[in-house]
């Protein structure tokens, strides 16, 4: 295979601007990578990364606090519903003229074996009409009296419940 020298020189000279630009781009890419490795992370990058991490941690902590409060409230309401249901069923089983169903305010302290700590029940009996009694039952814990659950029962002599 014979190569014509003049043709080879003209072919190389015609490719020279393209090959020089490719070589310069490759060198520029390599020089940028080397300087980034030597330089490391900048202050701005570290500030952005740490603020994002802090934002995620604070959000998770707030959700944890809210979920624990919701859990405590749910346990309290479950306890109140269980104890109140038992007490209201007891009222329904009593005769209409029972002493526990006399008009006025009554109180009882209850120990629930399923939950630690005491609880207190107040019930108020009203006679809005002859043959009708309205029992309003309030359930709360003495250590947190602001948290209450209120239940209502209507007893009718004619319907016998």
pLDDT at 9: 46
pLDDT of residue 157: 85
CA distances from residue 148 to 66, 73, 81 in whole angstroms, order as listed: 19, 10, 11
Per the model's pLDDT, the better-predicted residue between 4 and 69 turns out to be 69
Sign of the alpha-carbon torsion through 59, 65, 71, 76: negative
pLDDT exceeds 90 at position 152: yes
For the segment 82-101, the average pLDDT, to the nearest whole number, is 89
**What are the pLDDT digits (tens) for 92-140?**
898 888 888 899 999 988 887 777 778 889 999 999 888 899 999 999 8
Please state the rounded mean pLDDT for residues 34-39: 53
Q: Could you give the C-alpha distances from 16 to 5, 11, 12, 19, 129, in angstroms and in order?
A: 16, 9, 6, 5, 109
pLDDT score of 113 = 77
Q: Which has the higher per-residue pLDDT, 21 or 140?
A: 140
What is the residue extent of each domain of the chain?
65-156
Residue-averaged pLDDT of the chain: 81
| pLDDT value for 118 | 82
Residue 25 above 70 pLDDT?
Answer: no
40-44, 121-125, 136-140, 152-156: which has the minimum mean pLDDT?
Answer: 40-44
pLDDT band with cut points at 50, 70 and 90 for residue 20: low
Confirm whether pTM is higher than 0.75.
no
How is 101-126 classified by DSSP, letter by letter? GSSEEEEEEEE-TTSSSEEEEEEEEE
The answer to whether 150 touches 138, Cβ cutoff 8 Å, is yes
CATH architecture of 65-156: 2-Layer Sandwich (3.30)
Q: Indicate if the alpha-carbon torsion angle 64, 68, 73, 77 is positive or negative.
A: positive
Q: In terms of pLDDT, which residue wins out, 109 or 17? A: 109
């Amino acid at each position: 295979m014979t190569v014509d020298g003049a043709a080879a020189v003209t072919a190389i000279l015609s490719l020279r601007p393209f090959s020089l630009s490719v070589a310069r781009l490759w060198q520029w890419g390599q020089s940028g990578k080397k300087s980034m490795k030597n330089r490391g992370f900048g202050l701005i990058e570290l500030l952005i990364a740490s603020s994002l991490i802090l934002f995620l941690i604070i959000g998770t902590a707030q959700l944890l606090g809210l979920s624990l409060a919701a859990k405590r409230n749910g346990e309290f309401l479950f306890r109140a519903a269980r104890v109140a249901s038992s007490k209201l069923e007891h009222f329904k089983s009593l005769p209409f003229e029972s002493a526990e169903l006399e008009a006025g305010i009554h109180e009882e302290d209850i120990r629930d074996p399923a939950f630690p700590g005491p609880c207190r029940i107040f019930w108020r009996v009203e006679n809005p009409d002859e043959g009708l009694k309205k029992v309003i039952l309030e359930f709360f814990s003495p250590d947190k009296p602001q948290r209450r659950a209120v239940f209502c029962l209507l007893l009718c002599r004619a319907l016998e419940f």
